[in-house]
Structure formats: C-alpha cells, structure tokens
Structure 1
Amino acid sequence: MGVQLSDEGALSTGAVAAAPFIAGATAGLVCDATVFPMDTIRVRQQARYRAPSSVAATESLTRPGRFWSAVSRMQRYSVWKEASSILKKEGIRGYYKGLSVVMLTSCPAFGVYYLTYEASKSKLGSTTGWSPDAIHLLSGAVANVFGMVIWTPQEVIKSQTQVQIGASMSPRAVIRDIYRENGIRGFYRGAVIGSLTWTPLSAIWFMSYERLRLLSCCREELAKEGSCSAGRLAASGFIAGVIACIATSPIDVVKTQYQVAGRGIASSSSAAIGASSVPMIALALLRSEGVGGFFRGVWAKSLWYGTFMAINITVYDTVKLSLQGSDC
C-alpha cells in the first residue's frame, strides 16, 4: 500500500495549513499507544545503578574494541532481563505505567512539533541559501524547543511513574507529589539537560530522515508514479531513529538519572552515589561503569525510538499528504 503523493482531493486552504498539526497529533496518539512498553523498559534500564567496577571502567576507556563489545553484550542482556522482570513482578500493566499522561499530552505536543518544523523548514528554505541538510537540522531543533514546553512535564511525570515498582503511585499522585515538593518548577526538572538531549536528537533525526526519504521516496521515477511505499517511509524513519539515538545516548542516560533521582528503582542510584547535579551524575557514572555506562539502554531506546518514529512519520506523512498533496 502506497502513500499517495498527488494533489487530487486536497482539502480547503485551512485544512492544508493545519495539516501538519492534525497529522502530528494523529501520529503521536497512534505511536504512544503502540510502542509505550519499549519506553518503559528503556527508562527502567537507564534509571538503575550498577555497582562500581574499576577494572571494567578503566578497560572501557583504554580499549575501545572491548568497550563496544561489552556495551553490546550488556544491552542485549539487559533489555530482556528488564522486560522479564517487569512482566514477572508487575504483569502486563507494568509496561504501561504513565501511559495516561502521555496520551493526554501527545496530541498537542506532536501537533505543535510538526507544525513548527514545517513552518521553520518553509521559512528557512525561502529566505536562506542554506543546504537542505542544514535547513532540516535547524528546523528539527527549533521544533523540539517548542514541543518541549509540553513534553518536559510529560517526561518528568511519566518517568517517575515508570520507575515505581509494585503497588506504585498513580500519575495523579505523582503530579501532586511533584507539585508539593517543588511547585511548578518540579515539572520542568531537567528541562535544560532534556533540551540538550532531545534537541540534537530531533535535529539529527529530521536531517537523517529527510535525506533517507529523498533517496528512497522522492527519486524521479517514484515521483512520476505518484506514490511512495509506506514501507520506505517507515524504514527511513527507523534508520534515522537509530542514528540519532546512538549519537545522543550519553546525555540521555544522565538526563534520565537526574530526572528520576531518588524515585522507585532509582532510589539507590543517584542518591546512593551522592550525585545531585548533572556533572556529579556524569562523573559518578564514568567512575563506576566507564564510558559504557553512558550507553546503558541504547539498544532499548534505539528499538523504541526507531520503531516509534517509523510508525510516527508513516502516519504523519499519510495524513498530511492526504490533506496537502505531494511533498517531494
């Protein structure tokens, strides 16, 4: 089944202008309901603290080959171990902790995200002489800055709910707890480091995706046929997601530990190693696990984010193109 790129059946000017918001909201809702369990596993992995191993830490710094081999083995083992642990202790419901918060906020967040991206891309394309890659990179970064106004509180509430084990607090109770302890500022805990994580990830993803989509979907022969395979869109989104995740994994691990410090499975993590700030958490992680610690959960996140964005962009482009017409 292909995604139609023709202009036939395009709707009114208002619908065309609102297409990125409508398509983004739809894509966010579909994706969150589909791949949320992968995100729970990723957050659980990143929030945990492992006992220090000076030998492993030293080797990871001095022997790159052993470092990547160890990271690969650790991630493959940890993903399945974490998934099995959640299922055994909490059942299927354990994978969906915090989903209600995400479902309520994803529609407006992704709507704003894609609307900002398309507007930035259009503006930069018409007023600068920059290369397409530079335009996509900056537009992706700008889109994330606007989206984070909604996503940061969502991420804080979701993460603190996900790391609870057993009879955990409900999202509503987590919200009350955050507000009681820190007020509104508590919902934006880690906003700066979160921006340093998600902004480059968004920028790299859009640049990679647009390049891959151009190569796979917008070649002359495909444009003449008037359609692009949904599989091509999904593959481009997935590969771009993996690239972006690997590039931004170190800051993401530190960000997650900072946001969930002292909560649930993280109660023996940042607090136990005496790390209360971003630099201290990063230093403690480096000392205890070496460089490999900064890639904890990278495969789980790559699988989650790659799958998420593959579904997300396929739904987004399908809906947007049905409203706007060709985008190649």
Structure 2
Amino acid sequence: MEFWPEFLASSWGREFFAGGVGGMAGVISGYPLDTLRIRLQQPSLSHRRVTAVGLLRSIVSAEGPAALYRGMAAPLASVTFQNAMVFQVYAILSRAFDSGNRNEPPSYGSVALAGVGTGALQSLMLSPVELVKIRLQLQTVGNKHYGKDHIGPVCMAKNILRMEGLRGIYRGLSITVLRDAPAHGVYFLTYEFAREHLHPGCRKTGQETLGTMLVAGGLAGVASWVCCYPLDVVKSRIQAQTNSHVNKAGLKYSGIIDCFRRSVREEGFPVLWRGLGTAVARAFVVNGAIFSAYELALRFLGSNNQRVVMEEN
C-alpha cells in the first residue's frame, strides 16, 4: 500500500498520473468530432458533397446520438495509459536531450526532438487501438461485414486477430509512425512556445492561467493536425480495410504509396484534406482539455505532496 503514495510523490509518478487524467479529458471532450472525421475521410463519401453538419444530422437521425460515441470504450481505456506514457516519455527525453541545463526549462530544440521520439514510440501502442476504433466508428446499421448488431471493442479486436492475424491488427503501423513522430515534435514545441508567449516566464515558474493552458494546448493540437493531416487520411483508409475488401489482387490498397496515388487519382488532391475542419475543431477542444487537465493535475499532486512533507516534519 505504500507504493502509490511514494510513486505519486515522485516526478515520474506525477507526470504519469497527470498524463492519464489529461488523456481521459481529451477523449471525452472530442470523441463525437473524431467520429465525424473518420467517416468524412472514407471513400464512400467521395462523390457526395457531404458537410460535417450534414453528416452529423444524418448520423443522429439514422443511428441516434449514441452512434457518435461508438467505440469510445477502447480509446478511453487505452488512451488514459497511452497519454500517461506519452507525457512520461516526453518528460524523460526532453530532460535527457538537455541534460546539461538542469536549472532551466528544456530548450525548444530539445522539446521538438523529445516530441519526435515520443511520437515514434507511442505509435507501437496506438496503432492497434486506432485500428479497432476506426472499425467500430465505421459500423453502420445493417453492415453486412459486422452483422446486424454492433460489436464492442474486445469482440472487434478478437475478430480482427482471428480473420487477419497479428499483421492485421498492426495494419497501418508504418503510416502511424510517419504521422505521429513529426506531429508530436510540432505538438510539444507549439505548446511550449505558445504558453511562454501568452504568459512570459511560465515555463520556468510553472504558473500560468487556465486560459493560457486552454489556448496553448488548443493551438498545439491544431498545429500538429495541420502538419500531418494528409497522412492521417491515408492511415484511416488503410486501417479501415477488412477482409471483405480483399479482391483477386489482394487488399484494395497495397500500401501507403498505393493508397495515396489511388485516392488522389480517383478523388483529386482535396481528398487529402477532407474532414480537416472537423479535425481542427476537435483538436483545439481536445488538446486544450488535455493540457489543462495535465497541468492542473500536476499542481494538485504537487500541493498534496508539499502538505505531506510539512505534516511529516
């Protein structure tokens, strides 16, 4: 029983716990917009001028509001741990890249490099979760592949493993790494840069307003999505493929380059930015919530630890 108080009193424990709290806040606040993004990216809408608002109305009227949260259990359970690991790994790497500067906040160069490394590492865990999430989000009423009833994340994962094997559950890993490594570098760099300019000196003191956290986190999310969005479209299409899409030549898309070429050839370059507006709106809301919850959790744990030390003395 003594492990948890000691763990949370340490720097590692505080960053891990606060990252998990931030991850939960992000999933809950932005999941409906994520469902819209995934559906807008699919080829089935290529020949129809469907707006995010129109699609939202269609989903709610045909499937009910709960459809916007379909598949949330998988990312809510995993993103809590994944986000905890992201913030923990980022903290370790940013200090390691700037080990000679212990008394100052990490340089912007160290922040960017730590973000790239964090994004690459977390892709190993995130890729299967996103694949299951995408398959769940694309379930529609009467979908022949999944049957009449919608299935849950555990059942979906088992089905993928049974029908497509371990290779199937990790489909899209390469494109996930290509998307997340640079995106996380931009993500953390933008956050640190924005918060310092909105509240000068806060990187050193660790004290800024809630408004600064929300805006800096929101801008970080928007910047990271804008820089990687075409890769996200390709990733979503590759991971949406199931055995029902297999033809004589194999899967519809044989790889990243093939998916990119065919998507552009069949639907034009604008397809690479389809759903960007929804993604940007979601990114601002979600990442403002993530960083705010993270920073507030760190402060709460820090104040609690200070009280414990005072009581012990």
| Secondary structure of 1:164's aligned partner | coil
| Secondary structure of 1:98's aligned partner | coil
Equivalent position to 1:37, from 25, 32, 41: 32
- Alignment correspondent of 2:68: 95
> AA paired with 1:30?
A
Report 1:18-29 matches (<5 A).
18-29=13-24
> AA paired with 2:298?
K
**Is residue 280 of structure 2 the alignment partner of residue 302 of structure 1?**
yes
Report 1:153-302 matches (<5 A).
153-166=128-141, 167-219=149-201, 227-262=207-242, 274-302=252-280
Which one has more relative contact order, counting CA pairs under 8 Å at least 6 apart?
Answer: 1
Equivalent position to 2:53, from 56, 80, 85: 80
TM-score by length of 1: 0.79
- Alignment correspondent of 2:144: none
> AA paired with 1:82?
L
| Secondary structure of 1:228's aligned partner | coil
- Alignment correspondent of 1:7: none
| Secondary structure of 2:41's aligned partner | helix
Report 1:10-159 matches (<5 A).
15-17=9-11, 18-51=13-46, 78-127=51-100, 132-159=107-134
Gaps of 5+ in 1: 1-10, 54-73
- Find the aligned partners of 1:140 and 1:188 in 2 and give their Cα distance: 22
Cα drift, residue 299 of structure 1: 1.1
Deviates more, 1:135-144 or 1:180-189: 180-189
> AA paired with 1:35?
G
Cα drift, residue 227 of structure 1: 3.8
Report Cα offsets for 1:37-75 as digits up to 9, x if no partner.
11111111112344579xxxxxxxxxxxxxxxxxxxx7x
TM-score by length of 2: 0.83
Cα drift, residue 258 of structure 1: 0.5
- Find the aligned partners of 1:223 and 1:118 in 2 and give their Cα distance: 15
**Is residue 289 of structure 2 the alignment partner of residue 316 of structure 1?**
no
Q: Extract structure 1 runs of 4+ deviating beyond 6 A.
A: none
Gaps of 5+ in 2: 142-148, 304-313
- Find the aligned partners of 1:231 and 1:247 in 2 and give their Cα distance: 24
Report Cα offsets for 1:4-26 as digits up to 9, x if no partner.
xxxxxxx9685232111000011
- Alignment correspondent of 1:3: none
> AA paired with 1:79?
A
